[in-house]
Structure formats: structure tokens, C-alpha cells
Structure 1
């Protein structure tokens, strides 16, 4: 057994290493499931009987429209409905909020929270951005908590490690 471990250690030590930039694996758009389980559909809008769990993340292939609703491609001819998921982009930064008043918080469906606001003038780490249908960005400050960019007075982009 000791000989096998030594041989494996030697083999791994001579393998070449390759460095990759962190941003090279985080570019693009992603889809996150925001319901308990989301059914997958094919490109014709037919249910596949396959489900994805809440908070699972997928790289977005393309968006198609079926009967007026957006569907997000997560595999070959497998799509998540906009009703069960949302699209986001990675964007690591530290933001500072306006000092004027409390800042409202929204969920991933852009529904304002009735129980949470953020204190004015506070700073937050944000890791992703989502967009309203009109293109207005919202940045995430906690799990399923977003603030509108019009409340951000300063932002400092940070490097992903």
C-alpha cells in the first residue's frame, strides 16, 4: 500500500499545472431556480417530468419565448420557465447606499419586501446583478435580497478569488 501511495504522489508531482483566470469561468449569464422544484420543458413547451431543486444554478445557453413567456436553456433541449427561475450575472463589488433614507429590498422577482429595509449610508458586498424588464439593474446584498442601483452612490469592484 505504501508503494502505491508513493507512486501516486510521484505521478501527481510531475503532472503539468495550468493556471486559469477566475473570470474565465464566471463570464456569461446564469439561471437560478427560485421555487422548491422547477420542472424542465423542451423547446416546444412540453413538460419533461424532470425537476431541478431550489437554489440550483445553471449556465444560460439561450432564452426562447413560448406563449409569451421566457424559457431559459440549461441543457440540450431542456429549459426552465421564467416562473420558476431568474437570470443573473456575476458582478462582485462593494456598494454604498444613499444617505437619504432607508433603502427598500426586493426579491428575485422584484417584489418589494414588507419586512426588510437597509440602513442609509451602509456598505454591502454584492456578488450578482439582475435586471428588470426595462433594463434597470438590481444588485444582490443577501440571499434573495436585492436593491435597485439608483440607491447606490458608490461601488468598488472586487476581484473574485
Structure 2
């Protein structure tokens, strides 16, 4: 079996590969796919947006934001270009407008106004510095806000948001990624008759600071903790995310999605891997993998396993058949290759290939 050091060294050279690329699976000889697998594939195909990218984008949206008082609150520019008049407290804008590369609404403002610290620009830190995942006109951001102290019920109107924040109470912004097919107009996302497909959502709690906080506090960015740890991680359950203190956040990563990890941290005996600036996944909620696209051939009747290590009893791979594989992982303490969305085969059941960069395990 490969040592952990060997696995990690292998993973390093694949750091530039995106999750979307790695999730493509197409067996050469079609295996018996479960209905659940087929449903997931079809669901992604409906919108043309990979669910892993949706969750990755949402993962870079902060759960908590502390902003400076004054000019960081909602402005007339926000109202003019993002607020939907008569839309029951809805803001609508593009995915690129919720990133540091293009801070919300700055494109419409006079550069001298320096709006780079406005409210929405604080939501997304894009910690890993990669590009936008689906910056196209079919995907939009719908956001509403509610008062956490209950002083105003329902969605807050534009003018109410600043009032609640200035009173010292926090406001939760409900961020949703919405998809509309074809050639959508803005009203297709938020109009009275609009029925966009909601791809994912996340809550952002906004609090106004005193103005004396450090830059790290203002941006919800604490000094990095743990140790550097480059790799990829695939969830085996719907996995909750945690902050650097081991406290659960409101975000959950879907089962069978792939994530870049860059730090490893142990809190109270539990190990976590970082997937965003202050969002960590538990080690036991997934498996560490590295990409290795290849064609493999079985040397005997080969059992299949889920990434959680459970044997798939209603099918197996026939001897001397070839299969497309896109990644290697350690399942049940064995080196295994993936041949379908959540179907893995042991190295011990495969013919050795001199052209492969990975030695077959000998357990």
C-alpha cells in the first residue's frame, strides 16, 4: 500500500486541477450505475452548473462579517444597482459582484468614491485566489435580509437594514444562487412570475463593529492556524463545516464533492482540513484523494466499494475488463481507484501497468 508521504507527493503536482475537471467520470465499459448516481448526474446537467462548483463558491462566502460603522453600510449606489424595487426586500446581482476581483457595484461608481469596502464586498474573501466558477448570465445572486433581534419581522426593506445595524443588532443576509435557462432577463430571477432554480444558499451574519477592531477582525480573517497541508479531499457524507475553533458553521458540503485543502488542524483531538478561509471539514467526513486519470484492467472478478468503505453487493467488475478511472484514494486502508461516482475497486484486483506512475498495493 502507498505510504502517506508518497500519496501526498503525488498530490502536489495536481494542485492546479479544478474540482469541476476532476469530477467528470466516464467508464470505458459502462458499469451498472445506481439510480442515485444517475439522478445526481442529471441534476447537474439540467442547469449546466456543477454542484461542486456551487458549493465551492458558497464556501468562499463568509458566515460572519464585521464591518466598520459609517460608509460600509448600504449606500445609494447599492440601492440603485442591486435593490429590486417592489421585490419584497430582494437584492439581485451577478456572481462576479460578490468577489474581491470585482467588489459589488464598484463598476458603476465613480472611482473617486472608493467603494471597495462597501457592505457586499466584505462577503467573499476568495481565499484560495482562484477564478470565478460560473460567471455567466444564467447564474445570479438573490439576497434578502432579516433582523436577528426580531425588531422587524419578515424581509427587511432597504432603509430598514441600516437602521437595524446602527441600533447595534446584527442582520442575517440570506444569499442564494439562482439559475435561469436560456436568455434570461433580470425579472426572470426576481419577477412576480419568476421561478428560478435555486442551486444553493448560505447565511451571512453582519455586525457593525466599533471601528477599533484590527483588520483581521474587520474582515473575519484570523491568523491561519494549523499547518500547511496541500491536497484534495472528497466528502463521504453531507459534511458540516467548522470554524478554526471547532464550532459548526451554517454550511454543509454535499456528499461526493471534491475540495482543495491547504491546512490541517487538530482541535480537542479532532482533525480538520481547511477548504476556505475559516471553514474546515472533519477528517472523518471524507477521504483524501489524488487525481490519476488512466485506464485500468481487472485481473479477476473485482468487488466494488463506496468511498465510505461499504461493499456494493449487487454488482462487480468482470475479469479482464477495462475501465476509465480518474482518482486514487485510501478506502478501508487500501489503495483504490474510482470507476464511477461512488464506486471504487482495490488495486489488488487490478493488473499492474508499467506505464502507471502508481505501484499497485500488495496487501
TM-score by length of 1: 0.69
Matched, 1:124 2:323: yes
Q: Map 1:7-156; keep pairs closer than 5 Å.
A: 25-26=16-17, 29-35=231-237, 37-99=238-300, 102-132=301-331, 134=333, 136-155=334-353
Structure 2 unmatched ranges of 5 or more: 1-12, 19-229, 358-363
Deviation (angstroms), 1:45: 1.4
1:16 paired residue number:
none
Mean CA deviation greater in 42-51 or 139-148: 42-51
**1: CA distance, partners of 2:259 / 2:280:** 10
* Cα RMSD for the two superposed structures: 2.6
**1: CA distance, partners of 2:15 / 2:286:** 24
8 Å Cα contact 1:92/1:157 also seen in 2: no
Give aligned pairs, total: 133
**1: CA distance, partners of 2:258 / 2:294:** 20
Structure 1 unmatched ranges of 5 or more: 1-21
Q: Kindly provide the CA deviation profile for residues 45-71 of structure 1, in whole angstroms up to 9, marking residues without a partner as x.
A: 110122223343211112333454432
Whichever of the two has the greater Rg, that structure is 2
Name the structure where strand makes up a greater proportion of residues: 1
8 Å Cα contact 1:94/1:157 also seen in 2: no
Name the structure where helix makes up a greater proportion of residues: 2
TM-score by length of 2: 0.33
**1: CA distance, partners of 2:344 / 2:252:** 26
